Structure 1
Amino acid sequence: MNPLFHMIAGAPDPVAPFSHAVECEGWVFVTGQMPFTESSIDSQYPEGIEAQTHAVMANLKTVLAGCGLDLSHVVCARVFLTHFREDYDRMNAVYSTYFQAGRFPARTCIGVTGLAKDARVEIDFVARR
């Protein structure tokens, strides 16, 4: 059981000391992604929860692709929102478009007091090869 530590070209630079994903025995744990639209962590986030959710999902797809996976491999997601009541429904409307109906990952959605660089949303995944 030797874990593989993945750093994915084209994914946003880490905002802290972490790997983009860690793989062990077919399980792939994808670090929570922020709504960067460029690889630099100094780039601006897009405005609004819808645009930020799209940006987060794009970054997650980049990490998954770098591991040879796609959204169909995702079995669990965690969503973190800093403006839970205001953003929950609108985030869900965007999030739901990324998965086939009836094949949504298990999920937890949590309201938090803050996220790195003042993002409104962060999402992480567990995928299975």
Structure 2
Amino acid sequence: MAITRYGVEGGQGTGGQHLPFSRAVEAGGWLYVSGQTPMIDGEVVERGIVDQSRIAIDNCLKIMKEAGYGLEHVVHAKVVLTDARYFQSFNKVFKEIFGEHPPARICLVADLVVDCKVEVDVTCYKP
């Protein structure tokens, strides 16, 4: 089974920090997308939870597209929010984006190592 790594050169995090992991890894029809935050060009976009949620999910979708996967291939999502009060707003964005293809999901509240409100990762499958 071949393993394909996307972004093995590592991305750029806040403050220009080198990120020492792949953006995604594909093996046997599975694609594991690393956790995405509301970053554009290595900097967190300082906005509310709705905008940050859209950006974090969009960052996942861009990586999925690069690997040849679409929304219909997402089987599971993990979501970390920094405040439980963001749950309803995040759900609205999630439903807008995944409406016809809702994946299984876990959502939890925890501190993030990046100063933002949300982080999202997805697991996709395409036979």
- Normalising to structure 1: TM-score of the pair? 0.85
Count of matched residue positions in the alignment of Structure 1 and Structure 2 = 120
After superposition, residues 44-123 of structure 1 pair within 5 angstroms as 44-84=44-84, 86-101=85-100, 103-112=101-110, 114-123=111-120
Is the CA contact (8 Å cut-off) linking 2:2 and 2:27 kept in structure 1? Answer: yes
Structure 1 segments, 4+ long, off by >3 Å, are none
- In structure 2, how many angstroms separate the alpha carbons of the residues matched to 1:107 and 1:54? 16
* Residues 1:34 and 2:37 aligned together: yes
- Normalising to structure 2: TM-score of the pair? 0.86
Q: Secondary structure at the match of 1:116?
A: coil
The aligned counterpart of 2:16 is none
Deviation at 1:14, TM superposition (A): 4.4
Q: Secondary structure at the match of 1:117?
A: coil
- In structure 1, how many angstroms separate the alpha carbons of the residues matched to 2:12 and 2:96? 26
Question: Structure 1 residues 83, 24: closer, same or farther in 2, change over 3 A?
Answer: same
- Could you say what the CA RMSD is over the residues aligned between the two structures, in angstroms? 1.7
- In structure 1, how many angstroms separate the alpha carbons of the residues matched to 2:33 and 2:123? 6
Q: Structure 1: state its 5+ residue gaps.
A: none
Structure with greater proportional strand content: 2
- In structure 2, how many angstroms separate the alpha carbons of the residues matched to 1:109 and 1:21? 20
